[in-house]
Amino acid sequence: MHIAVVGPTHPHTGGIVHHTTELSHQLAAAGHDVDLVSWSAQYPAFLHPGTLRVPGGDPEVRLYPKTSYPLVWWNPITWRRTGVHLRSYDAVVLVHASTVQVPASLTMLHAIHGRGRRRPAPRVVVVAHNVFPHERHHGDAMFVRALFSRADAVLVHSEQLAGLARKLVPGRTEIVVADIPPHLPAFPQTRRPVNETDQPTNKLLFFGTVRPYKGLDVLLHAMVQVPGVRLIVAGDIWSGVSNLRTQIADLGLLDRVMLRPSYVPGPEIAPLFRDVDALVLPYRAGTASQNVLLAHAMGVPVIATRAGTLGSQVNDGVDGVLAEPDDVADLTRALVRFYTPGTPARLRAAVPLVDMESSWNAYVDALTTALTGAAVAGARASR
């Protein structure tokens, strides 16, 4: 098939950038003719307080060779022009992560199905990393319903998201569920060697953008009850560094929490994981996170909550420890469990290898089925 993947790629930052770019590579490797259609400017800076573009410009992903950048958030002409161009494809993959870009997506869809077509419209599958934004706003449901109802299918990464999508468009749009495959930054990933006689460093890592739904404040309150454990916080801090420092000081943790308050480029990620006992993901809520897989690629166990898909990615007591979301007392118990003598080394020895190939094969198969409409045709034939 001749497929257009519409979504962000380098030089923009973030996991969705990595996923969109790797998806283009994987579809091409499966034998399809793929173009990656991207954004030269995604959205206004005030909507994203973090780092918008990779510092220094060095790619964190395998650059996809057939990439163009026609889309600009402030120019609707580029939205419609791109939609008209997309008419020439057999299928379109439209990446959705934020309602901010829904007007552009709807404009492209209107152009795809508008007058002047000389051939059948391409089948459109929306890949929805989130159904709603992590921080909800008035009108989100209206925008997302409009987008999903105009697509032929929507692919989501968990049954929880599928439930939300089905409520928005009951019976109107095919909803496909596929586990999100690894899409890690392209940098050398050296697993920490396992030695069961090693003593813990008593150092933990919180990695990634600091936003309310990620629950860093819950972790800080839990650490008060677990003396002797230190924490590195590495990533953009959306609420501001001064506010976070004040919170840390109020909890009496200034000598135990080290801040690295900026975006972490790919080559600087490995050193952060080198001597920590675990990555901590104290999410209040969420959908899916690559950070568990990133920790596994480094050979590091994970302490996480059961928010979103985290509970299925971490095997409690085997390669990590789980706690209930937004529960200081339960996260405190998880930290204490993790630091039971001998446990950090035992969990690290059980950290699984990251299986890129089979995960991506299954994902591409599910997406290709949606793009061809085979699942819908099969369901109709069986009635």
The DSSP secondary structure of 187-229, one letter per residue, reads S--PPPPP-TTPPP--EEEEES-B-GGG-HHHHHHHHHTSTT-
Across residues 185-192, what is the average pLDDT?
A: 63
Res 287: pLDDT? 67
Using CA atoms in the order 220, 221, 223, 227, what is the torsion angle rounded to 10 degrees? 130
Q: Are 246 and 180 in contact (CB under 8 A)?
A: no
Across residues 81-85, what is the average pLDDT?
A: 97
Question: What is the spatial distance between Cα 43 and Cα 39, in angstroms, rounded to a whole number?
Answer: 9
Res 22: pLDDT? 95
Superfamily of domain 2-183+356-381: Glycogen Phosphorylase B; (3.40.50.2000)
Question: What is the spatial distance between Cα 151 and Cα 146, in angstroms, rounded to a whole number?
Answer: 9
Beta bridge partners of 34: 3
Quote the crossing angle between the two packed helices 140-149 and 102-112, to the nearest 10°: 20
pLDDT tens-digit series, residues 215-254: 999 999 999 999 999 999 999 898 789 999 999 999 999 9
Using CA atoms in the order 19, 22, 26, 32, what is the torsion angle rounded to 10 degrees? 90
Q: Is the pLDDT of residue 378 over 50?
A: no
Across residues 309-325, what is the average pLDDT?
A: 94
Residue ranges, comma separated, of all CATH 3.40.50.2000 domains in the chain are: 2-183+356-381, 203-349
Reported in sequence order, the residue ranges of 200-319 that DSSP labels E, i.e. its strands, are: 203-207, 230-234, 257-260, 278-281, 302-305
Segment among 196-200, 254-258, 360-364 with least mean pLDDT: 196-200
Across residues 291-301, what is the average pLDDT?
A: 91
Look at strands 302-305 and 123-128 and give their pairing: unpaired
Token pair of 158 as six digits: 């968990």
Question: What is the spatial distance between Cα 210 and Cα 239, in angstroms, rounded to a whole number?
Answer: 8
Across residues 328-343, what is the average pLDDT?
A: 97
CA 98 to chain centre: 12
pLDDT tens-digit series, residues 53-71: 777 778 888 899 999 999 9
Indicate the burial class of 100 (C-beta count within 10 angstroms; 0-12, 13-18, 19 or more). Answer: middle
Q: Is the pLDDT of residue 27 over 80?
A: yes
Q: Are 130 and 162 in contact (CB under 8 A)?
A: no
Question: Quick one: fold of 203-349?
Answer: Rossmann fold (3.40.50)
